[in-house]
């Protein structure tokens, strides 16, 4: 253990809670430390907490008010060899800080070791480990108790009791993930534009038994055109399914691209004069019985103003869990979506999105879309107008004979009459059509010939896939 001592005379920490969220929203461990002060502590007071120097600046520092609300707080960071002291002056009874630490990867095995260096008297020490989605064989030392949280995820928790200043604490955990993970190396993407906004859409089992991944990228307005955009995708997915830019009319247009492979990542580079770039590829979905598991990794490599995700829940899916959890709801196309903005990202910032759900059938979501109108005539018809073709000559002949008989009788009667009666004039019908008959509107529905989604009356492009509609 490193030599470390803290002069912590200002406050007494009644309870220290340390939470570990491995592979929650990055391919690392999110460590959350919250110090709850003794009720006898006079406020304001200074709270100092140690974190490893190697993690750099903390991700977030906050204080917790009496009603539980977290408020961002100013802090100072003082480095002492392997440890850095994060000091906060607080008017509230709790201080919280977060940082990301490296996770050890060995193929599908993950492991992490946390050390508490001591130096502070703690009334109680508590830890929790949030089990990542889709992992197995989670082992923790010292062993905690398993429980399910309000978010539906599994936690391991344990109370370690009082810890004097002379005491150190070590917590180790490991687990196995069924799919290969991110090695931690960011792809080298050079001479490309930063992105103002990147939304990653994940549509599992939409039109294949895989995950359709869609990048919707927006270039900052102050970038001079033409410019280059570089987007990393896993090398093992091969060529992208589609690469396009948005034209002046807002329609998607196929774009030429280059693909450069570096290790486990391939960079798709597009030369564009448009602010919008669209990319699609398919990635494998892990299917074990009724359970489906997928992990998306954004490996970094470029600066992002905002990184967000969209996840389409497959038709027939249940017990869907996503980390980090987004906000869900039905949208105009009838599908249920989860959305969330994870914030900005630097070149060396990676993001991780995990999802797991149950599904009892192999049906695809695209099959639930409204089909287009069928032009095929059924082989058998029931009801309707009978076929009068064979009887038409007989009907016409009979009707003509009847007219001849009536005409002959009428002429005989006229000859016998001595007085010629003046026939009454018949009102002639107008052959002019009403104005509304000259301007008929075709109210038949319009369906996208690409994906089958029914379009609105005023739509020129499909709201689902962006294809120009056939009017």
Residues 234-261: pLDDT tens digits? 999 999 999 999 988 888 999 999 999 9
pLDDT at residue 439, as a whole number: 38
Greater confidence (81 vs 107) lies with: 81
pLDDT at residue 226, as a whole number: 94
Q: In the structure, what pLDDT confidence band is assigned to residue 177 with cuts at 50, 70 and 90? A: confident
Q: In the structure, what pLDDT confidence band is assigned to residue 38 with cuts at 50, 70 and 90? A: very high
Least confidently predicted of 271-275, 369-373, 424-428, 466-470: 424-428
Give ∠ CA 147-153-158 in degrees, rounded to 5: 35
pLDDT at residue 178, as a whole number: 75
Least confidently predicted of 121-135, 155-169, 171-185, 325-339: 171-185
CATH number for the region 13-176 comes to: 2.60.40.1730
Mean pLDDT across the stretch 139-162? 94
Instruction: List Cβ<8 Å contacts ≥24 apart for 443-447.
Output: 444/373, 445/373, 446/470, 446/471, 447/370, 447/371, 447/372, 447/373
* Token pair in block for residue 80: 């002492």
Q: In the structure, what pLDDT confidence band is assigned to residue 67 with cuts at 50, 70 and 90? A: confident
Backbone angles phi, psi at 196, to 5 degrees: -75, -35
pLDDT at residue 407, as a whole number: 55
Check whether 373 has a pLDDT greater than 60.
Answer: no
pLDDT at residue 432, as a whole number: 38
Model confidence pLDDT, tens digit, residues 108-126: 899 999 999 999 999 999 9
* Token pair in block for residue 227: 């410019």
What is the per-residue DSSP string for 378-416?
Answer: PSS--SS----GGGHHHHHHHHHHHHHHHHHHHHHHHHH
Check whether 269 has a pLDDT greater than 90.
Answer: yes
Every domain of the chain and the residues it spans = 13-176, 197-360, 369-373+443-471
Mean pLDDT across the stretch 136-143? 94
**Beta-sheet strand order (sheet of 291-298):** 286-288, 291-298, 351-359, 317-323
**Fold match between 13-176 and 197-360?**
yes
Distances (CA, A) of 416 to 56, 276, 406, 411: 123, 92, 16, 9
Greater confidence (282 vs 432) lies with: 282
Greater confidence (451 vs 337) lies with: 337
pLDDT at residue 5, as a whole number: 45
Q: Which residues contact 122 (CB under 8 A, 6 or more apart)?
A: 13, 15, 16, 162, 163, 164
Dihedral in degrees, nearest 10, Cα atoms 243, 346, 203, 138: 140
Q: Does domain 197-360 have CATH number 1.20.1440.120?
A: no
């Amino acid at each position: 253990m490193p030599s470390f001592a803290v002069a912590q005379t200002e406050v007494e920490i009644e309870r220290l809670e340390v939470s570990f969220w491995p592979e929650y929203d990055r391919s690392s461990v999110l460590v959350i430390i919250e110090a709850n002060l003794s009720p006898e502590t006079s406020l304001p007071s200074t709270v100092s907490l140690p974190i490893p120097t190697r993690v750099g600046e903390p991700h977030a520092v906050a204080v917790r008010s009496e009603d539980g609300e977290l408020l961002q707080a100013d802090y100072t960071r003082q480095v002492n060899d392997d440890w850095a002291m994060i000091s906060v002056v607080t008017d509230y009874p709790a201080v919280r800080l977060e940082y990301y630490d490296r996770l050890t990867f060995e193929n599908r095995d993950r492991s992490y070791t946390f050390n508490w260096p001591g130096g502070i008297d703690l009334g109680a020490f508590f830890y929790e480990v949030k089990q990542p989605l889709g992992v197995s064989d989670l082992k923790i030392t010292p062993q905690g108790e398993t429980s399910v949280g309000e978010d539906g995820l599994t936690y391991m928790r344990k109370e370690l009791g009082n810890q004097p200043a002379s005491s150190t604490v070590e917590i180790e955990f490991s687990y196995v993930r069924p799919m290969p993970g991110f090695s931690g190396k960011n792809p080298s993407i050079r001479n490309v534009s930063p992105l103002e906004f990147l939304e990653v859409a994940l549509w599992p089992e939409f039109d294949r038994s895989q995950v359709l991944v869609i990048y919707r990228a927006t270039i900052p307005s102050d970038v001079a055109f033409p410019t280059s955009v570089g987007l990393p995708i896993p090398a093992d997915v091969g060529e992208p399914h589609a690469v396009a830019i948005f034209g002046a009319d807002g329609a998607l247009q196929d774009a030429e691209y280059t693909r450069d492979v570096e290790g486990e990542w391939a960079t798709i580079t597009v030369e564009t004069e448009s602010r919008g770039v669209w990319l699609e590829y398919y990635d494998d979905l892990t299917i074990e019985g009724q359970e489906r598991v997928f992990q998306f990794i954004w490996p970094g490599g470029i600066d992002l103003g905002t990184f967000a995700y969209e996840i389409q829940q497959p038709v027939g899916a249940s017990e869907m869990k996503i980390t980090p959890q987004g906000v869900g709801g039905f949208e105009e196309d009838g599908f249920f979506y989860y959305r969330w903005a994870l914030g900005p990202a630097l070149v060396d910032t990676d993001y991780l999105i995990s999802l797991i759900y149950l599904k009892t059938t192999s049906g695809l979501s695209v099959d639930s879309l409204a089909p287009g109108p069928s032009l095929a005539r059924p082989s058998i018809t029931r009801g309707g107008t009978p076929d009068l073709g064979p009887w038409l000559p007989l009907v016409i002949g009979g009707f003509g004979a009847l007219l001849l008989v009536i005409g002959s009788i009428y002429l005989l009667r006229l000859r016998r009459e001595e007085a010629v009666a003046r026939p009454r004039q018949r009102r002639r019908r107008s052959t002019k059509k009403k104005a509304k008959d000259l301007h008929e509107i075709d109210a038949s529905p319009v369906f996208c010939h690409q994906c089958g989604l029914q379009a609105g009356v005023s739509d020129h492009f499909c709201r689902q896939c962006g294809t120009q509609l056939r009017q």
